Amino acid sequence: MKIIHGWKALADADRGAAVALGNFDGVHLGHQQVIADARETARRLGVPLGVISFEPHARMHFHPEEPPFRLMNPHQLARTVETLGADIFYLLPFGVEMANFTDHDFVSDVLVKGLGVRHVGVGFDITFGKGRTGDPGAMRRYGAEFGFTVSVAEAVENDAGKISSTTARDFLRGGRPDLARAIMGRPFAIEGVVQKGRQLGRQLGFPTANVPLGDYVAPRFGVYATRTRLADGRQLDGVANIGINPTTGEVAARLEVWLFDFDADIYGETIETDLIGFLRSEEKFDSVEMMVEQIHQDARDAKRILRDTP
C-alpha cells in the first residue's frame, strides 16, 4: 500500500482511485462497510482502492484544548486500512487551507482536480467542508456534476449498540474494552515507545514497560488483561495498569504493562498493547506490600481471562 500525504501535483499512477472518505478513527464496523462499498466499486471499475483520512483529526484542529480522544494513531490507521484492501492511503493534512474549503471546493479541488476520483464512498452521517455544510446528499449531487459515482453506507448496529467512534470511546471510558472491541471489530490498542521509569516494578518482582497515553482517549483508570506485540513480532500476554500510580507517587497518566515470562530490555522500542478485559479500578493502597499482593492476584485474574479470550 502506498501512503500519500497531499493532493496536489500527483503522478497519474496515484490518481483515479475509487475512494472511501472519512476520518475513520478506530476503523469500526461502520467504517469497514464504507471501505467495503468502495472496494467493490474499485473491483468493478478495475481501479485502485483508495482510503482518504486527515491528519490531524479535524477536531484537534478546531478544538485543540479538548482532552485527547483518539482510538488510533496514524500508523495503526494505515496498517488497518491496508488489511482491508487499500492500495493507496491518502493521509491528507488538515490545516487552515483544508479547514477553509467550502464543501464544493473540497470536492472540486481535492477529490476531482487533485485525486481524480472515480468513485467516493461515504458513511450516512458524513459532513465535509467549512461549517460542515456537505452531507451525503451533497456528495451525490457533486458526483453527478463532476462525473464520479457515490455510495453511502447505512448505519450499522450490533448487540453492543450503535456503531460509532463515540460509542467506542464511551465504552473505554466506562471500563468496557470488550464492548469497544465489539464496536471496532478488534481490541483497542495503545501503541508507543517504551520509556524508562523509576524501575520500581522491577525491584518488586514485576518489571513493567511504560508507555505514555499521548493522544489516545483515556480508558477508565485501572487494571487490564492485555496482549502486547513487540517490535520483533512476538505477542505476549500481560497485565497492565492505566493511570497515575497513586500508591508510589503520582505520574502523568500512562500504560504500565507487566509482560508475563519476559524480562528483556525493550527501552526505546515501539510496542502495541491490546486491552482485553477490565479487572478493577486503580486504587491507592496503604502499603507497597498490599499493592504487590494485589498485583499478583491481578496477574492470576488476567491469565484466566486471556485463556478464555481468543
* pLDDT tens profile 194-237: 998 776 667 776 889 999 999 999 999 999 999 999 999 999 99
Average pLDDT over residues 26-52: 98
Co-location of 109 and 197 in the same domain: no
Q: How far apart are CA 131 and CA 299, in angstroms?
A: 49
Report the CATH number that the domain containing residue 84 is assigned in CATH: 3.40.50.620
Q: Tell me, what's the pLDDT at 133?
A: 96
* Same domain (yes/no): 103, 206: no
Q: Which of 79-83, 175-179, 193-197, 300-304 has the lowest mean pLDDT?
A: 193-197
Q: Which residue segment(s) compose the domain that 146 sits in?
A: 2-156
34 domain-assigned: yes
The residues that bridge with 273 in the sheet, in sequence order, are 190, 228
* Nearest one of 81, 277, 299 to 176, comparing CA atoms: 277
The number of distinct structural domains making up the chain is 2
Question: pLDDT > 70: what percent of the chain?
Answer: 98
Q: Which of 111, 138, 156 is the last residue of a domain?
A: 156
Specify the pLDDT at position 252.
Answer: 85
22 and 145 share one domain = yes
On whether residue 172 sits in a domain, the answer given is: no
pLDDT for the residue numbered 226: 98
Q: Are residues 44 and 102 in the same domain?
A: yes
Tell me what pLDDT residue 61 has: 85
Contact 89/51 with Cβ under 8 angstroms?
yes
If residue 191 lies in a helix (H) or strand (E), which one and from where to where? Answer: strand 189-193
171 domain-assigned: no
- What average pLDDT does the segment 49-78 reach? 94
pLDDT at position 246 is: 81
Mean pLDDT, residues 282-288 taken together: 89
Residue 162 maps to a domain: no
Residue 174 lies in a domain: no
Is residue 159 very low, low, confident or very high in pLDDT (cuts 50, 70, 90)? confident
Q: Is residue 74 part of a domain?
A: yes
The answer on 120 and 13 residing in a single domain is: yes
**pLDDT category, 250, cuts 50, 70, 90?**
low
pLDDT score for 201: 67
Instruction: Looking at the structure, tell me whether residues 6 and 152 fall in a common domain.
Output: yes
CA 139 → CA 47, 112, 143, distances in Å? 20, 12, 6
Q: How confident is the model at residue 162, as a pLDDT?
A: 87
Considering the domain architecture, whether residues 91 and 189 belong to the same structural domain is answered as no
